[in-house]
Every structure is written in structure tokens, then in C-alpha cells.
């Protein structure tokens, strides 16, 4: 699916798209010391940020995001797996 063509994803597609971007783009670049850090993914444009502080990760991701961005929040779990974070959606 080309998300750029449809920047308004239905709510039920935000999490699956965020997980897809996480697995394809974020996880390969993670290091063991990233475990526990926050990942914020723009599910519209595919940009993301990783930081130990959730607000800094969000600020960095939103700086590069388009106005229509929708964000998926996760934490880096054991082995780089995505662990749920408490916020998902557009801001």
C-alpha cells in the first residue's frame, strides 16, 4: 500500500502500518543499547525517531513529518521487538 497516496488512514490501519514500518525500517538499525527506548513512527511518510525520552522522540519525528502525519508509538523490546507504548494516533 502506498501510504503517501492516502494520507488519512482509518484508525484500525495505524497500528498495523506502524508495526510494518517498525519491522522493515526501524528494527534493522537498532542496537542492544536501544532496548527500552521509545520509537515514534509517522505512518504516513515513514519517518521515525528513537530516543530514551518519549517527548523528544515525538518532537524529532514531528519536525520531519508532514502536517497530515499520523503517529505510532512503541518501545524497543528485547531483541529489538516492538513493544506497545501508550499512545497511538494523529496529533
Helix (H, G, I), strand (E, B) or coil at 82: strand
pLDDT for residue 63 is more than 90: yes
**Can you tell me the mean pLDDT for 75-87?**
80
**Can you tell me the mean pLDDT for 45-52?**
95
Whole-angstrom Cα distance, residue 59 to residue 10?
23
Cα(first)–Cα(last) distance of the chain, in Å? 23
| Least confident window among 39-48, 49-58, 82-91 | 82-91
Model pTM score = 0.82
pLDDT value of residue 48: 95
Amino acid at each position: 500500500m502506498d501510504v503517501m497516496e492516502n494520507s488519512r488512514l482509518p484508525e484500525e490501519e495505524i497500528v498495523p502500518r506502524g508495526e510494518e514500518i517498525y519491522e522493515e525500517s526501524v528494527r534493522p538499525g537498532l542496537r542492544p543499547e536501544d532496548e527500552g527506548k521509545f520509537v515514534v513512527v509517522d505512518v504516513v511518510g515513514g519517518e521515525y525517531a528513537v530516543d530514551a525520552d518519549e517527548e523528544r522522540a515525538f518532537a524529532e519525528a514531528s519536525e520531519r513529518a508532514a502536517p497530515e502525519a499520523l503517529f505510532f508509538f512503541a518501545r524497543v523490546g528485547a531483541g529489538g521487538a516492538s513493544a506497545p507504548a501508550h499512545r497511538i494516533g494523529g496529533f
